[in-house]
Amino acid sequence: MLFRLSILTIAVGLLWNGTCHGFGDWRQFRGNWSSAVELNAKLPTEWVDGDEPKNIPWKVALPGRGLGSPIVVSERVFVTCSSGFHQDRLHVLCFDAAKGKKLWERQFWATGRTMTHPKTCGAASSPCSDGQRIFALFSSNDIVCLDLDGNLQWFRGISHDFPNCSNSLGMASSPIVIGDTLIAQTENDADSFASGLDVYTGETRWKRTRPKRANWTSPSPLTDGSGEVLALLQASAGIEAVRPQTGEVVWTYKSGAATIPSLVVNSGVAYVPSNGLTALRPEEGKSEPKQLWNASKLGPATPSPLVLGSKVYVVGGAGVLACASLAEGQTNWQLRLEGPFTASPVAAGDRLYFVNEVGVCQVVQLGGEKGEVVGKSELKLGKTEPADIIQATPAISDHALFIRSDAFLWKIAEMK
């Protein structure tokens, strides 16, 4: 039943921003619906044979660092990077998804502060797209909008406009598009707010003051019972569900939430990293959602939780994967993985893909009594300063997995 509801939700959502998501598009952090799931994708379980690579159609070098996911739009892969001693040179690159050929690159100068913790960098947020345009938010709170051919549409410097909107550790929230509004959370200890920007012009539709506390979580779309798509804004105080066009708050959850892993939505229920993991269902006409359950021991570490079928999957602090029921939050099984993890997992068909920071990808097969690691491949990272590292969540498109490190972008797909 839940699976059918998921399909229905996806079908409705295809119309949400006026242009159908093309087959194979993966348009934002964790995919089009921030679910990190591509049910139809068939991916290999291994891409290294001994020391020899296999199932790697191409690999390209990148001009700078990045934690932002690749996204895929109209058979093109888009990646952001930052470079320079001050990480103040901002890059947006476009590659042909089939062959890995670089189609174009655009560079910009950061207009806001670029200081970050050494582990992160200026390109920590994932770009997103409405199918016509690419929106890239950087740690300096600069937002670049380009068309798919690299033509600049508009540029906003959020920290240029509001100089106290910054974080000395770096910003990392990834924006999303709902309808024709770009939603960006630029939240920090000083001047903290979220914005809704007109995708055509970059003009501010709304600006909403948010909790004064550093926050690296990303907004997520939720389709409520009436069919309206809301943007869920997560922060230390909890959740605000806002109308994307106006920023008007529809409901609020006030019991606190994590500031690193982001919530995931499935069939109108939000699974929130809050006091462990808390399932919330919004109720029509009510200003607070109904709490379906809370599982205090299901607290995710850095990776965001993932819902597939009737289960929710959470990676805890020790790299232990927990599988729990969607209905009650009861833990069914646990599996120790090889960490450490910053990237969130993604799902293809009935397999979960986990990429750790040192380039080891573990494939967990679901369906049995317990998940089983059926594939383990190590990507050879480059020798860069600081050491090359994978912290970006992969993207899935047309039976291929796209993984990026601080130095490279790989395409992983079955090679015949």
Partner 1 sequence: MPRSTIRVVLIATLLIPPLHGIAADTATLVQTIKAVGREGKGNREANQAVVELSQQDVSVLPAVLMGFRDANPLAGNYLRGAVEAIADRTLKAGKPLPKESLEKLIRDAEQDPRGRRLAYELLVRVDDSAADRIIPDLLLDPSPEFRRDAVARLIVSGEKSLKDKAEDDAKAAFKKALSGATDDDQVKVIAKQLKGLKEEIDLQKHFGFLTSWRVVGPFDNEGLKGFDIAYPPEDKLDLAAKYEGQKGEVAWDKVATDHEYGIVNIAKQIAPHKGAAMYLTTEFQSPAAREVEFRLGTPNAWKIWVNGKLLFGRDEYHRGMAIDQYRVRGELKPGANTILLKLCQNEQKDDWAQRYEFQLRVADLSGLGLPSQPVQATSQK
**Residues binding partner 1 (CB under 8 A):** 84-86, 104, 106-109, 111, 113, 115, 117, 142, 144, 146, 150-157, 160-161, 163-164, 167-169, 188-190, 197-198, 201-204, 212, 214
CB of 79 to partner 1, least distance (A): 17
Minimum CB distance to partner 1, residue 71 (Å)? 20
Nearer to partner 1, 163 or 179 (CB): 163
Closer to partner 1 by CB, 150 or 375: give it. 150
Least distance CB 129 / partner 1 (angstroms): 18
Q: What is the three-state SS of the chain? A: CHHHHHHHHHHHHCCCCCCCCCCCCECCCCCCCCCCEECCCCCCCCCEECCEECCCCEEEECCCECCCCCEEECCEEEEEEEECCCCCEEEEEEEECCCCCEEEEEEEECCCCCCCCCCCCCCCCCCEECCCEEEEECCCCEEEEEECCCCEEEEEEHHHHCCCCCCCCCCCCCCEEECCEEEEEECCCCCCEEEEEECCCCCEEEEEECCCCCCCCCCEEEECCCCCEEEEEEECCEEEEECCCCCCEEEEECCCCCCCCCCEEECCEEEECCCCEEEEECCCCCCCCEEEEEECCCCCCCCCCEEECCEEEEECCCCEEEEEECCCCCEEEEEECCCCCCCCCEEECCEEEEECCCCEEEEEECCCCCCEEEEEEECCCCCCCCCCCCCCCCEEECCEEEEECCCEEEEEECCC
Q: How far is the CB of 154 from partner 1 (least distance, A)?
A: 5
Q: Shortest approach of partner 1 to residue 274 CB, angstroms?
A: 22
Q: Which residue lies nearer to partner 1 by CB, 86 or 336?
A: 86
Interatomic CA distance for residues 250 and 199, integer angstroms: 22
Between 151 and 332, name the residue whose CB sits nearer to partner 1.
151
Taking alpha carbons only, the member of 139, 150, 143, 83 closest to residue 116 is 139
Closest distance of CB 139 from partner 1, Å = 13
Shortest reach from residue 103's CB to partner 1, in Å: 10
169/292 with CB nearer partner 1: 169
CA distance 377 to 394: 14
- The CB-of-98 to partner 1 minimum distance in angstroms stands at 20
Q: How far is the CB of 159 from partner 1 (least distance, A)?
A: 10
Of 69 and 87, the one with the shorter C-beta distance to partner 1 is 87
Specify the residue, 58 or 104, whose C-beta has the smaller distance to partner 1. 104
